[in-house]
Structures are given as C-alpha cells and as structure tokens.
C-alpha cells in the first residue's frame, strides 16, 4: 500500500500543477463511449438505466482491475499507474480554473460573459442571474465539486486502488450525463444518480469535516450551519459541503434556481450576507485547503490499511 499512497500523492500534486490532460483525456473518451452506448440502450425505463449504468461502471472496474493485476508485486509500476489514474480522475485544478474565470469576468464588469462561463460549472439557467446570484452559483459548485471531484476520488483510490478510481469516475461521469431530472432522463438516469449518491456519501461527510478544520476562526459557525441546514438540501450529499462553506465564509447560500424545464427552491444555508464576487476566491482557497487535507488523510489511510493487513 506504500505504492498506492505514493501514487495518490503524486497524482494529486500533478492535478494541482497541471490540471487535466490537454489531449486524449481518458474521461472524455469514456464520455464518448457512454454517449454511443446510450444511443443503443436508451429507453424511458429504470431497468434499461440500471443495465446502462452497470455495464459502463463495470467497464471502468474491469479496466482498473486489469491494470492493478498487471502491477501486482511491482511497486514502482503500481505507484506510476495509481499516480496517472489519480491525475486523470481528479478535477480540482479545472474547478479552480473555471471559478477564477467567472471571477475575472465579474471583476471586469462583464456580467453576460460571467453568465456564459458559469454554464461550464452548473446546469441551472444562468441567463437572468445578477452578480450575487452568479457568485452564489460558483461558490455552491466549488463546494459540491470539491467533494465530488477531489475528495471522493481520493477516498476510493485509497480504499480500492485503480479499480476504485476508475469505477468512481465512471459513475460520476454517468451521473453528469444522465442522472438529472428531465423528461428524457427521469427514469433512465435514476440508477446513475442513485449510484453516484451512494458513492459520494463518505466524501461529502469527510469534506464537511475537513472544511470545518480548514476554517480557523469560523469553525463553530461552519459546524452550526452544517448541523442545522444541510439536511434541507435536496441532495443527501451536496448540502453538507455547501452548508460548511456557507458557515465558513459567513455567507448565505441556497434560494431559487431555474433549470431548463422547471424552477427549484433550495433551502437557505447559513445566516450571512448574500455572496459577492470576492467570495469566489475565498471559496476556492477553502477548497484548496480541503483538498490538501484530504490528500494527506487518504494517503495515511492507504498506509494504515496496509499495516492492518500485515504488510
């Protein structure tokens, strides 16, 4: 497990420094495979959605298991493969880049540009948002995706190695593609959405805990908002990091979101002021601290797991 811990750490640092691979991104390739599979398997049916999800997540699991078997008893190769896989499945640098791009556009008084760029981060309708609502959307996305795109892959990499990394990323990608409420995907995407919820249960809670730890001077407020408000969020996971970020930053999140076919009223998270553009950078800094903490915790967990198994 020393090789696994080293690979996770190197992959995390690679994502921090380099971001996503510029060309031939494996996740993008998986998305293309999933889109082609959907054309063959789609029906307005939960059963078809279960089959679609099982086949594609199973593909990620099988590829990961094959890579891990190849590296068995070869620590340098295992560390290299874990590092490369971790780098490709993490999304921390890309998340920070997109948040910074919206922040820069708001700073240049380019609200239409900020609304347009925000669509890279959220699925809601951004066309009528003012500066505060754009800022709220970015902070909420940074909070939720710190759990989904940083902490969760590290957890599954620490506990299940390369198969865990690839299966988690497959499930998370499918959720982004089909796991949302719409006339087309309400039933077909149900399995992908529920599997993603299940796999993110530990990450959301660890993100909340690490967010509290990473908030000196605001820890009591972050804990309070988590305990009081997180359960009001419609997601079993997203409410936790969003509530902790709201308490840590002293702002108020939640409210009315409009999607393509419906409005949605979200519970309020926190007691503070409405978010402003300056809170985007503060949220990104908090997310970076949480990511650093998660990398340390998960590397230590991989080492402890090795010790518990007697080497």
Domain ranges of the chain: 2-308
pLDDT in tens, 133-187: 999 999 999 999 999 999 999 999 999 999 999 999 999 999 999 998 888 999 9
Six token digits for residue 45: 């049916």
pLDDT in tens, 86-122: 999 999 999 999 999 999 999 999 999 999 999 999 9
Q: What is the mean pLDDT of residues 65-93?
A: 95
**273: which strand partners?**
251
Q: What is the mean pLDDT of residues 280-305?
A: 96
Mean pLDDT of the chain: 94
CA-to-CA separations, 181 to 33, 52, 177, 194, 228, in angstroms, rounded: 22, 17, 11, 12, 27
Q: Note the pTM of the prediction, 2 decimals.
A: 0.93
- On the question of pLDDT at 62 being above 50, the answer is yes
- On the question of pLDDT at 310 being above 80, the answer is no
Q: What is the mean pLDDT of residues 260-264?
A: 77
* Confidence bin at 311 (pLDDT 50/70/90): very low
- Exposure string (b/e) for 200-234, b if CB count within 10 Å is 16 or more? bebbbbbbbbbbbebbeebbebbbebbeebbeebe
- On the question of pLDDT at 306 being above 90, the answer is no
Q: What is the mean pLDDT of residues 52-66?
A: 96
């Amino acid at each position: 497990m020393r090789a696994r811990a080293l690979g996770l750490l190197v992959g995390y640092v690679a994502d921090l420094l380099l971001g996503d691979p510029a060309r031939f991104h494996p996740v993008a390739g998986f998305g293309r495979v999933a889109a082609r599979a959907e054309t063959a398997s789609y029906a307005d049916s939960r059963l078809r959605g279960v089959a679609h999800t099982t086949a594609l997540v199973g593909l990620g699991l099988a590829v990961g298991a094959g890579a891990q078997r190849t590296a068995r008893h070869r620590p340098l190769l295992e560390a290299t493969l874990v590092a490369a896989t971790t780098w490709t499945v993490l999304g921390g640098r890309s998340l920070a880049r997109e948040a910074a791009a919206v922040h820069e556009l708001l700073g240049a008084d380019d609200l239409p540009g900020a609304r347009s760029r925000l669509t890279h981060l959220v699925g809601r309708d951004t066309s009528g948002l003012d500066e505060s609502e754009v800022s709220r959307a970015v902070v909420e996305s940074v909070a939720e995706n710190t759990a989904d795109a940083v902490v969760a892959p590290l957890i599954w990499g620490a506990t299940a190695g390369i198969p865990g990394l690839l299966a988690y990323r497959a499930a998370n990608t499918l959720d982004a593609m089909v796991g949302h409420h719409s006339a087309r995907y309400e039933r077909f995407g149900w399995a992908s959405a529920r599997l993603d919820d299940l796999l993110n249960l530990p990450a959301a809670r660890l993100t909340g805990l690490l967010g509290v730890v990473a908030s000196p001077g605001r820890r009591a407020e972050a804990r309070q908002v988590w305990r009081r408000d997180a359960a009001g969020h419609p997601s079993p996971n997203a409410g936790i990091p969003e509530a902790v970020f709201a308490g840590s930053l002293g702002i108020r999140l939640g409210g009315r979101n409009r999607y393509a076919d419906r409005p949605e009223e979200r519970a309020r998270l926190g007691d503070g002021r409405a978010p402003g553009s300056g809170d985007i950078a503060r949220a990104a800094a908090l997310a970076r601290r949480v990511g650093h903490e998660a990398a340390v915790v998960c590397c230590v967990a991989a080492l402890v797991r090795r010790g518990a198994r007697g080497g």
